[in-house]
Structure 1
Amino acid sequence: MSERLTPGNRPLQIIDHDDPEVVRSAATEDYALHVAPFTWRSGRVSLLMAWYAFASAMFWLIVGATVALVVGTGDTLIGLGLSVLAYSVIGGLISRYAARTGVSSALFSRCLFGYLGSVIAPLVIGATALYYGVFEGSVIASVLHQYTGTGSIELWYFIVAAYSIPLVVGGVRKWLDKINGILLPFYYIGLIVVIVWAIARHGYSNDWLTAGPVADANLHAPGWFFAFTTYMGVWIMIPFTWDYARLARTADARYHRWLTFGPLFYILTLVVNAVVGIFLANTLVTNGPLSELSAVDGIVKLAGIFGVALVWISQTRINTANYYLASINAESFFARLLRIHLSRRVWVVVIGVGAFGLMLTNPISYLLKALQWQGVFVVAWIAIALVYLAFARRDGRAAEDFEFRPGRIPAFNAVGLVSWLVASAVGVTLAQAGGSFGATWSAPITFVLAAAMYAAGRFATGERHVVLRRPFDPRAEVDDPWEARVRCASCDRHYIAQEMDRNPATHDHAPICAECGSDDLAYLRASYAEARSGTVGRPDADLVATD
């Protein structure tokens, strides 16, 4: 152990290896409330396997098939191509920045909306993940209930929620990569089996490739644009990308940009699934209008136990990701708002119980509307995040200099918060009351409005609402803030200096980690007072004493 001295301040107690207690906690926590150090990053294949859980949802088949019924196959494929391009470009930018900062989307949101203002972000992202988990879990339960013909649907809801919990207790690099790596090939094998079976039973025709809309509708835009904006409603994949990409190695940026979070993933997830969905919708006979339940019912009737296996694999894979993201965002939300600190294991159980409770309320009848509203908030979040990254690039600020520590950002970032809430309110109003015009235009209008408002605010105010200027930064007191582990005086654990701060509420400016700082009101008040006083003093580099 070594120490660096700063005049008048408590010496930093530094080690050059991971704290064993922190590592034990990280096995399930994945540094949800901290910066993920380079030693906790996942291998490229491991992260790819964990992330590709999102590639196998029945949801993607149904979205593609449903859009094709509205605008036809040709316009749907054009919209899909544009969506792959948009997702890949944004996902590539986001994943690279997330890996370089090592923070979750919840912690990143602090620089956009302020320390307290950002509490809405993990609520929206976590609730969206939970709702998708409920939706997909309901599909599994319905299929198992109908196929077995035993027990009540409530019993199957309970079984699905209960078996999902242990599948996500382990973190990304300890468990999720392994289970999803095992199940991934079976999903695609299952799709091939269903397609072959459908052709064998119903024959093959090229008509599905040239199918037009089933009814005339005024979409207030070309069909391909409607298809593109429909997939904008599922841009929740971008903040989801952030929460996985923070665990990527920076050296693997090119690999992840093209394969994990880029074109390969979105071609498989959006295009392949949509094409299969369109084909099956034009081949299988379903009970009633096309929906996720009617589609999987058709698959099960076609392929029997093999269809059940395909549905179980697809929905179980994506629900590992849904429950994981819901748990880490719940952990962040409740730790910030109510200062309730529970391990992620406990939050996984809470999420499972919550999912079961929501399943009992016939969720498919209302969750799609809730997801539509939350999708608007997500689109606005992405627009503001992209503008923030553009300003960071303009100012030459490296991702490694990103500021999220609670005592070095304002409680509320008025520019970001107002931009987000106003744009989201406009988008929700359009989606709810705008009819067919709102269905097509709510997402793009929200995106443009949020980006324009935030950009105008940043040009007008600079960084006043982004960072607080304070002295005594531990990042400047060590040789390498990503390698030096500094002991937190509050929790007695060592975290990398990148997330450490000095606590002006103590007489000797004791070191404090990001999680402890979030709970310490005295630290927050003293930090804001220190920033208001303008006593930044000499550059931090001049405050470091020689050993």
Structure 2
Amino acid sequence: MNLNLTGSNDTVEATDALYREGNDEDQMTRGSLSMAWYGVASAMFFVYIGAAMAMAYGTLNAVIGLVLTIFVYGLINRVLAKYAINNRTTVALFSRTILGTAGSSIATIIFALVAIYYAVFEGSIVAYAFQTAFGGPTWMWYLIVVVYSTPLILGGARKFIDKLNGWLLPIYLGGLIAAVIWAGVQYGFTDTWLTQQADLAVPLAVGGPGWLATFAGYMGVWIMMMFTMDYAALGKRKDIKFHQRWSFGWLFYIVAYGFSAIVGIFLTFTIPGMEVSETGVAGGLVSMMGILGLIVVFVSQTRINTANYYLGAANLKSFGERVFRVKLPNLVWVLISSLIIFLLMLLPIVQYILLALAWQGVLVTAWVAIALTHILLNRGKNEEHGMLGDAHYRSFNNSGLIAWIAATAIGILMLQLGAINPDLAGVGATWGPITTAVVAAVVYALLWNGTSSRTALRVKR
């Protein structure tokens, strides 16, 4: 059935009806999708960031900020997951709606680069753990990590690893629990990790309360919202409630952020001399637990990197096909992505994790705020969806692009306050991400055309 979009309500409703008749059986089962998604929960970064926040702002502030983070993440991702499943729309496809086809290319390459960056970062941790255990040159372990990670996202191997993630999750959770018990028995159970005070070097008085600074710090990982859309697009519509509640909702973030952060805080302030960095956490586990610690690190990072490699290659492919009109097999895009990952590993990229998080956090936070605003403004109305081709969309959606550019510019400016005046560093770090989200949402809402829910749709007459 071919439809000519005329812009009339009847035609739009017919298009929407046709789309919703799509075969749900082509999508992933709730168990497979849930286990594949929970692979993201095992990043050592989540262990590290909880400890880093406690070190900077004190355990109490870190926990309060963490609770607020879990609540907000769960709330937002319930909305994004439902929309992505209903419309089967990924970040690349949805960006056409809020930014236009040209603007969506920018969002796609940013998503691809961020996913690749995380693959580099998490892979470096595995390499560091192996080097700590067995020695040898760093580049060799980098190469080994890339070589064994690449096949895990290919065809049948990816389906296998999705299932395997369900078995690996208990190993990861059990490994961290074992690490806590091990550290407590070896170094003693004390309340030091609960009573950790804020680092006086952090300008809390200027930047705001420590719990708010913690919340803002976790906004730097709003890339998880983009991850949610790409994964949720694979789900069945009949499983929406399940995925909202169990896969992409609060339970996931209690495990990914809450559990990991508490473990990180305990280990950091229990193991003497443990460095508050992701490599420090991994090295501490291997040094303390030996081969068992290495297994925990290997399992956790392999699980998260299946997501990083998959999303990096998928969005790189989308960008290449849209911008350069290059049609290549999936395998080629995977290999290109893996080559980029290996080459970046050879650079001292781990040293710039906080700076990278701050910059990408601004871009991603603005996108998420615009996306959420658009979905809420169009709630209950007919929407464009993933099956429509690029020809149905304008090249530029001025509402989204203006909102994104304005919010990003303000966010980056606030991040630079510390360079202008060191006493204002706390202001930029705490209020930068929050201001970015507010500006993006408000500007988009003001520019949004309330008479048409399809602001980026090019009407054919």
- The answer, yes or no, to whether TM exceeds 0.5 is yes
Which residue does 1:185 correspond to in 2? Answer: 170
1:357-381 CA-to-partner distances (Å, cap 9, x unmatched) read: 0011121123442232111111000
Percent same amino acid at aligned positions?
A: 42
Q: Tell me, in whole angstroms, the C-alpha distance in 2 between the residues paired with 1:136 and 1:347.
A: 20
Q: Tell me, in whole angstroms, the C-alpha distance in 1 between the residues paired with 2:2 and 2:281.
A: 64
Kept after mapping to 2: 8 A contact 1:69/1:212: yes
Which residue does 1:442 correspond to in 2? Answer: 432
Which residue does 1:145 correspond to in 2? Answer: 131
Residue 318 (structure 2) pairs with residue 318 (structure 1): no
Q: Give the count of matched residue pairs.
A: 437
- Return the structure number with greater helix share: 2
Gaps spanning 5+ residues in structure 2: where? 5-20, 419-424
- Aligned with 1:203 (options 174, 188, 195): 188
Q: Tell me, in whole angstroms, the C-alpha distance in 1 between the residues paired with 2:311 and 2:56.
A: 32
Residue 348 (structure 1) shift: 1.4
- Aligned with 2:149 (options 149, 161, 164): 164
Q: Tell me, in whole angstroms, the C-alpha distance in 1 between the residues paired with 2:231 and 2:157.
A: 8
Residue 345 (structure 1) shift: 2.0
Residue 264 (structure 2) pairs with residue 277 (structure 1): yes
Partner AA of 2:242 in structure 1: Y
Q: Which has the higher contact order (CA 8 A, sep 6+)?
A: 2
Kept after mapping to 2: 8 A contact 1:100/1:399: no
- Aligned with 1:414 (options 385, 388, 398): 398
Which residue does 2:79 correspond to in 1? Answer: 93
Residue 279 (structure 2) pairs with residue 293 (structure 1): yes
Residue 26 (structure 2) pairs with residue 40 (structure 1): yes
Q: Tell me, in whole angstroms, the C-alpha distance in 1 between the residues paired with 2:168 and 2:370.
A: 36
- Please list every run of at least 4 consecutive aligned residues from structure 1 whose deviation after the TM superposition is greater than 4 angstroms: 3-6, 399-404, 459-465
Residue 397 (structure 1) shift: 1.3
Which residue does 2:421 correspond to in 1? Answer: none
Residue 45 (structure 1) shift: 1.2
Kept after mapping to 2: 8 A contact 1:141/1:157: yes
Q: Tell me, in whole angstroms, the C-alpha distance in 2 between the residues paired with 1:172 and 1:411.
A: 37
Q: Tell me, in whole angstroms, the C-alpha distance in 1 between the residues paired with 2:256 and 2:285.
A: 19
Kept after mapping to 2: 8 A contact 1:131/1:367: no
Equivalent residue of 2:458, what SS?
coil
Q: How much is the aligned-residue C-alpha RMSD, in angstroms?
A: 2.1
Q: Tell me, in whole angstroms, the C-alpha distance in 2 between the residues paired with 1:202 and 1:192.
A: 15
TM-score, L = length of structure 2:
0.90
Which residue does 2:422 correspond to in 1? Answer: none
Superposition map of 1:379-418 within 5 A: 379-393=365-379, 396-399=380-383, 404-418=388-402
Equivalent residue of 2:303, what SS?
helix
Residue 312 (structure 1) shift: 0.7
Residue 36 (structure 1) shift: 8.1
Partner AA of 1:407 in structure 2: A
Structure whose CA Rg is larger: 1
Gaps spanning 5+ residues in structure 1: where? 7-34, 471-535, 537-547
Query: Compared with structure 1, are the counterparts of its residues 225 and 63 closer, same or farther at alpha carbon in structure 2 (3 Å cutoff)?
Result: same
Partner AA of 2:188 in structure 1: G
Residue 4 (structure 1) shift: 8.0
Residue 248 (structure 2) pairs with residue 245 (structure 1): no
Kept after mapping to 2: 8 A contact 1:202/1:283: yes
Residue 307 (structure 1) shift: 0.6
Which residue does 2:7 correspond to in 1? Answer: none
Which residue does 2:250 correspond to in 1? Answer: 263
1:229-287 CA-to-partner distances (Å, cap 9, x unmatched) read: 11111010001000000011111111111110001100001110000000001101235
TM-score, L = length of structure 1:
0.76
Query: Compared with structure 1, are the counterparts of its residues 4 and 245 closer, same or farther at alpha carbon in structure 2 (3 Å cutoff)?
Result: closer
Kept after mapping to 1: 8 A contact 2:50/2:62: yes
Residue 72 (structure 2) pairs with residue 82 (structure 1): no
Q: Tell me, in whole angstroms, the C-alpha distance in 1 between the residues paired with 2:357 and 2:195.
A: 31
1:412-451 CA-to-partner distances (Å, cap 9, x unmatched) read: 1111111112211221222233422111111000001111
1:37-70 CA-to-partner distances (Å, cap 9, x unmatched) read: 5222111111110000111111001100000011
